[in-house]
Chain A
Amino acid sequence: MNKPSMNPLSANALCFGSDLPAAGVPCHVDISSVGLSIQFSDLPRETVPFTALAVEAGGFDHDQLVVKWASNGVGRTVYLKEPALIVSFRQFVPPELMADLERTAVSVRRARQRRRTFLLVAVGSVLALVLALWLGFDALVRMAVARIPVEWEQAIGESARRELLAGQTVVTEGPAVAAVQEITKRLTDQIEENPYRFKVTVVQSDIVNAFALPGGYVVVFTGLLKKAESPEEVAGVLGHELNHVLLRHGLERIVKTLGLVAVVAIFVGDQSGLIGLAKRLGIELVTLKFGREQETEADLSGLHLLHRAKISSDGMIRFFERLSESDKLQVEMLSTHPMSAARAERLKAEAASLPGQTPEPFGFDWIKVQESLGHWEAGTL
C-alpha cells in the first residue's frame, strides 16, 4: 500500500496508523450520507461506509472525535476536532452507529463538565483562599511567628546587620556611643522577661534615623544624634525601635511576604521564586517597611517603656512634631507610616493617661555628645 502524504492546504484532520508517522498525516475528511471519505494529497479519495466505522472520544482534552476503521487490513484512526465536521458526522450517521456516537458525546460532555466544574472549584478555592487570607492572615502570621525560636531570629537579624553594615563606618567608642548605650540600658532594664540581648550599633551617617532588626540588633545613625534636640528624643526613637523587636514586627513582615509567595508558588508549580526570595531575605530585611498598625503599636509600647524607665515622653512627642513639619507634603493614605502629626497627637493623648512622675535625667551632657560628633546641627529635621 502506498503511504499517504500531507496535503496541508485542505487538511482538516489527522490520520494515524501503524504504517504512518507517529505525529499523524494531515488529511481532508468529508462526511456524507455514504460514509466518511478521506483524501491525502497524492492518493485517490477513499470512502469508508459508516458500517465499518467505530467512534470514541479522545485527545488530550478528551474533546476530539476519534473514528477508527480498517483499510486493507491496516488499522486507521482519524482525529476530528473541527466542530463543523463533528456536526455533519452526527447529521449523517445511521441509527446503528448513533448509540456509539451518543455514548461518545456523553463522555465528551462529561469531560467538559468536569473541566468546567474543576475550573469553578479552582476559581472558587482561589477566591476563598484570598478571602481567608484577607480575614485570617494576620492571626495565622502571628501564630507562625510565635513558633519561631529567638535563636533563628537572631541569626536572621545578625546576617541582615552584617549585610547592612558592610562598607559603613561604625562608631565604636566616644561620648556618643556611651550616651546611646546608657539610653538603651535605661530602656532595656525596664523590659520584663526580655529574651533578647540588645546590641546597639552607632553608624557614621547623615541619615536621621534608627532601626531595629529581628533578634535585637538596633542601628542608630549619627545623623539622628546630631539632629536630636535632647537625649529624650533619641530615647523616644529607641523606645519605638526596641518595641518593633519585642513585638517581632520584622518577623511578621517576613513571614507575611514569604507566606503569600509560598501560596502562589505552590499553586503555579514554580518553587524557584520562593528560593530566590528566601535568598534575598537578608537584603529585604534592611529595607523592611513596617505596616501602619505596627508603627502605631510600637509608638504606644515605646511610650510606655519610656514611662517605666522614668524618661520624659516630651522628647518623643517633640520629635514627631518636628518630623511632621518636614512631611507636610506627604499624603497619609499613601504612606505606611501614620503621619507624624497624628502620631504626636496620639502619643500626647496616651501620655496624658499615664500617671504623673518626675523624670530622671541622664548621666551625660547632651551638648558634649553632639559636639563630639562634629558641628552643632540641632534644629530642623
Chain B
Amino acid sequence: MKSEILYPGAFPMVRVDLASGECVKAESGAMVAAAPTIDVESRIEGGLLGALSRKVLTGEKFFFQTLRATRGAGEVLLAPTVPGDIVILELDGVNEYLVQKDGFLAGAEGVKIESRMQSLSRGLLGGEGFFILRISGRGQLILNSFGAVHKLELKPDQEYVVDNSHLVAWTATTSYNIEKAAAGWIASFTSGEGFVCRFRGPGVVYIQSRNPGGFGAWIRQFIPVSQ
C-alpha cells in the first residue's frame, strides 16, 4: 500500500495505491472514488463487541469500510469530512499512537485499532471524552485534522502545553497531565483556555490549528433559528 496526499492544505485527499489483494481500512464514508478493481466491504473491526464498544464509547463510526483490490491493483481516493490537513504515519510494530476519536481516516490492513479508556481526570477534563483510539501494528496510518496539522517533537523529559481541544494524536511514550491554563480557576476560564494538557516527552504530539468545538460555537450564532 502506498499513499500520497493530493491538494495538501484545507481540502486534501489521499490517493492510496493498492497492490492486487491488498486492502485499506477507512472511516466509513471516507471513500471519494475508487478504481473498478476495488471492492468495498463493510467490516466490523475488532468483532461485533469491539465495534460496539468503539461506537458507544468513542462515538467513532460503528463500521469501518474495507476497500480491497480483489480484482487487481488499483487506487482509492479518500477524504475526511472536515476541512483540514491529512498526515500519513508509518507504524513499525513498535510505535503506537493514541488518537482522538475524530482523527482516524484510514489505515493499512496490519494496523490495529482499539478503544482505550482514559483516567478520570483526563476523561472528564481532557476534552476527548473517556475513550480514545489506541492504534498499533504495522503499516501506514492516515490521520486527519481540523485546520492545519502541526507536529511537536518532544525530547526525553521535554514538556509542552497544549489546549486540549487542539489534540489530534500522540505517541504512547508521551504522557500528559491535565491542568488549569492559568494559576487561578477564574483566570483559567476567563482566559478562554480552561484546561490544558501538559505533555512530557519523549515522543511526538500532532496538534490541529483549529478547535472544532470553538468553530461550532462560532458558526452556531449564524444559523437561523427555525421559525
Contacts and interface: CB of A to CB of B under 8 A. Distances in A.
A161 B120 CA distance: 44
Interface in A133-161: 159
Interface string B23-59: 0000000000000000000000000000000001111
Nearest to B98: A60
Contacts of A26: 92-95
Interface in B117-134: 117, 119-120, 123, 127-131
B210 to A, nearest CB: 16
Interface residues of A, number: 41
Interface string B91-102: 011110010010
A18 B173 contact: no
A60 B201 contact: no
A277 B214 CA distance: 20
B182 interface: no
A43 interface: no
B117 A18 contact: no
Interface in A1-57: 6, 8, 11-14, 16-18, 21-24, 26
A145 to B, nearest CB: 23
Given A24-B95, A24-B202, A269-B127, A61 B172 contact: yes
A159 B92 CA distance: 56
B92 A8 contact: yes
Interface string B119-161: 1100100011111000000100000000000000111100000
Contacts of B153: 21-23
A62 interface: yes
B76 interface: no
Given A270-B129, A272-B216, A59 B172 contact: yes
Interface stretch (A111-119, A206-214, A315-323, A343-351): A111-119
Contact of A122 (B56, B130, B156, B204): B130
Contacts of B170: 60
A118 B116 CA distance: 13
A260 B227 CA distance: 26
Contact of A14 (B95, B128, B131): B95
A333 interface: no
Contact of A16 (B92, B98, B156): B156
B129 A11 contact: no
Interface in B66-118: 92-95, 98, 101, 116-117
Contact of B155 (A6, A16, A64): A16
Contacts of B92: 6, 8, 11, 26
B173 A60 contact: yes
A62 B200 CA distance: 12
B172 A22 contact: no
A64 B117 CA distance: 17
Contacts of B131: 268
A285 to B, nearest CB: 12
A162 to B, nearest CB: 7
Interface of A: 6, 8, 11-14, 16-18, 21-24, 26, 58-62, 64, 68, 75, 77, 79, 114-115, 118-119, 121-122, 159, 162-163, 267-270, 272, 275, 279, 282
